Chains A and B, each alone.
Chain A
Amino acid sequence: MEWIQQLVNGISLGSIYALIALGYTMVYGIIKLINFAHGDVFMLGAFIGFYAIVRWDMHFILALLLAMVLCAVIGVIIERVAYKRLRNATRIAALITAIGVSLLIEYTVIFFRVRGASPEAYPEVLKNKTIDILGVQISTQSIFILTVSIVLMVLLQFIVHQTKIGKAMRAVSHDADAARLMGINVDNTISATFAIGSALAGAAGVIFGIYYTRIDPLMGILPGLKAFVAAVLGGIGIIPGAMVGGLVLGVVETVVSALGYSLWRDAAAFVILIFILILRPAGIFGKNTREKV
């Protein structure tokens, strides 16, 4: 009984990781950059949703859409201003810039908020009813999160495999120069990728706020890192992989806590990462690519 409850806990947590991981995996797939600022876009989405609901009395679905749109814009701005120039520079320069952008977003939010670094609480917008199935308490909010995540993933798969822009994205991530030669506007494709990835992060932020209630300016750091681990776990650049990776990570973390090692929970993500990188770097769904000399 307790184990089924723990599984439900883990899947709910994992769905949020999955949503953030989707954005990570897309951006990494296309420009091979670990976008450290992704976790902070997630945070911005949560705050945009919060202000929309509390200040402008928006319905939460509208707030969710608003957050997605604004985060997409923010993602493109970050890409254009900070990352574009560094596409041909060393990887470490791009990584450092990403860290810089991440810190800048976090501390600018703290600076401009009246309450500084203090947390905010999301008002109750989605009535949470707990359904009792055989002694296991499943909240309607958990079901909501899982549903939204699956819908977004299906939507994303559709975009990537059935639309022109998706085809362009796949082409650029495979070989940017060849894509350019084929007439694909690489810059716009990359911006589109950032837009979609950031929109997903923004959605994750609002959902996180609804489910976990508490948001604060530094909330994006750890989930961001863990989502990256999830993306690697599933196979970086592979969309269903990010979903599966997120769910697996959520369940593993919950199991670690359930066994009584809750203080080691955050380490669990990193231990998984190291094992995956050493044993199967391509991830669960990835293909092993040989390095040609």
Chain B
Amino acid sequence: MKQRKLKKLASIFLASSVLVGALAGCGTSTSGGNSVSDDSDTIKIGANLELSGNVASYGSSIGDGATLAVEEINAKGGINGKKIELIKVDNKSENSEATSAAIRLAEKEKVVAMIGPATSGNTVATVSIAEKYKVPVVTASGTAPNVTENKDGKINDYAFRTCFIDPFQGTVAANFATGELGAKNVAIYADNASDYAKGLAASFKETILANGGKVVAEEAYVAKDVDFKATLTKIKSANPDFVFIPGYYEEVGLIVKQARELGITVPLMGADGWDSPTLVDLAGGDALNNTYITNHYSSEDPDATIQEFVKAFKAKYNEAPNAFHALGYDTVYFLKDAIERSGDTITSVGIKNALAETKDLSLITGTFTVDKKHNPVKSATVLEFKNGSQVFNSKVNP
């Protein structure tokens, strides 16, 4: 008797759960975006950063730059009288955590904008969340095109970036190599773990071939590695007269040093990932002679606004700011400009619209306008290393 009763109970539950399951399919939660109420005096901006894990140094640098900017803005009275509250969440350099962090920021903290992860890969993971919650995400350093434009050509409405994209830098470098330096046979040694480096290498190669040059060696290295001599020996034996090394300073510093030790004396070139005082510490000023980079900015640029930023940064953090610090700083000001233009009531949707309309905004890393693909159109600078310092070589406009 008991068994029959139990079975009856079970079947009722089964039926009701099927019903509920069917209903579940109908319910989707749509959010209209977050907003700042008029009587609130804080604007919450989220920062979804790699504060631990593989690329913790990039995430922390962006975080530090952003914090400085927020402090500056708040000291001057904030935006429309409201102070900015920067809420940092660690995504452990993992895309699953980046997604969770984005959800947390949008859902729980109800931020009106998010400063995105440092790497393109992690940013891509948060774009769908941004769309779902209608909160814009701005990555300071995610340079891969697929952050703002997916493979079908559709633009991700809520994704933005402060940096230029890979294809531009690669082309600039290639033209410099064949034009200025007259190189004919080039070698490419790229970081295989980053879309950034791969994108740069691809656009560099394309332009070199279009300019009539030859790629005599194409190698890849693994991030976090310290010994590159085996591959460098291989590159040397291919006899290039120019080597393009797109990647980040942590490895590049060692690559340049070891390349010189092995007797590779030809010009070496890279992109903004080289920019850091640590690069000079790792490679040594001598090894860096006869190397070039394309960059957003240089901490040695005598421009008054830049030097003011450098001074403020040094005062707070006791070190000279690198490109990631500058980009983090600029991202906050990029958002500030958009928030100011977005209207009397600050909403995340309003900010998104204002970001897309940004025009001729003057920041540390250059003056820019946001194009239709949500990418900033800004100029790049080519710099040469002389005795460990970056010396201005030329400016290239898009």
Contacts and interface: CB of A to CB of B under 8 A. Distances in A.
A, B assembled together: yes
Interface of A: 2, 5-6, 9-10, 12-13, 107, 110, 114-121, 123-124, 128, 130, 137, 139, 208, 212-214, 216, 218-219, 222, 253-258, 260, 262-263, 265-266
B113 interface: no
Contacts of B262: 5, 137
A214 B226 contact: yes
B233 A130 contact: no
27 contacts: A5-B233, A6-B229, A6-B233, A9-B227, A10-B230, A12-B227, A13-B227, A114-B318, A117-B56, A121-B278, A121-B281, A137-B262, A212-B254, A213-B253, A213-B254, A213-B282, A214-B253, A214-B282, A218-B224, A254-B230, A257-B230, A258-B230, A258-B231, A262-B219, A262-B222, A262-B230, A262-B231
A147 B237 CA distance: 29
B363 interface: no
Contact of A212 (B52, B227, B237, B284): B227
Contact of A263 (B192, B237, B250): B192
Given A107-B52, A260-B219, A262-B222, 19 more contacts: A6-B229, A6-B233, A9-B233, A12-B229, A117-B52, A117-B57, A118-B61, A118-B278, A119-B282, A212-B226, A212-B227, A213-B281, A214-B282, A216-B57, A218-B224, A257-B230, A257-B231, A257-B234, A258-B234
Contacts of A5: 229, 233, 262
A120 B276 CA distance: 12
B395 to A, nearest CB: 29
A38 to B, nearest CB: 18
Contacts of B250: 119, 214, 216
A110 B56 contact: yes
A137 B227 CA distance: 15
A226 B130 CA distance: 41
Contact of B222 (A137, A212, A265): A265
A52 to B, nearest CB: 17
Contacts of A12: 227, 229
Nearest to B318: A114
Interface string B265-279: 000000000000010
A121 B57 CA distance: 14
Interface in B192-234: 192, 219-222, 224-227, 229-231, 233-234
A6 B225 CA distance: 17
B253 A116 contact: no
From A6, A9, A114, A214, name the one whose CB has the most chain B CB atoms within 10 angstroms.
Answer: A214
A119 B250 CA distance: 7
Nearest to B93: A117
Given A119-B278, A213-B282, A9 B222 contact: no
Contacts of A253: 230
A242 to B, nearest CB: 19
Given A137-B261, A139-B261, A121 B282 contact: yes
A255 B278 CA distance: 30
B254 A262 contact: no
A137 B260 CA distance: 11
B289 to A, nearest CB: 15
Give the interface size class of chain B: 20 to 34
Given A137-B261, A213-B254, A262 B221 contact: yes
B57 A213 contact: no
Contacts of B284: 124
Q: Is the interface of A mostly helix, strand, loop or mixed?
A: helix
B52 A110 contact: yes
In the A-B complex, the 10 residue pairs with the closest CB atoms: A121-B281, A257-B230, A117-B56, A118-B57, A9-B229, A212-B226, A254-B230, A121-B282, A258-B230, A262-B231
Contacts of B224: 218, 222
A254 B282 contact: no
Contacts of A265: 222, 225
Contact of B57 (A107, A119, A123): A119
B60 interface: yes
A2 to B, nearest CB: 5
A201 B51 CA distance: 28
A130 B230 contact: no
B120 to A, nearest CB: 19
A9 B230 contact: yes
A254 B229 CA distance: 8
A12 B233 CA distance: 15
A255 B219 CA distance: 15
A287 B30 CA distance: 68
A2 B233 contact: yes
Contacts of B282: 119, 121, 213-214
A253 B282 CA distance: 23
Max chain B CB contacts within 10 Å: which of A13, A117, A258?
A117
A137 B257 CA distance: 14
Interface string B244-265: 0000001001100100011100
A211 B320 CA distance: 26
Contacts of B51: 116
A116 B278 contact: no
A263 B218 CA distance: 13
A258 B233 contact: yes
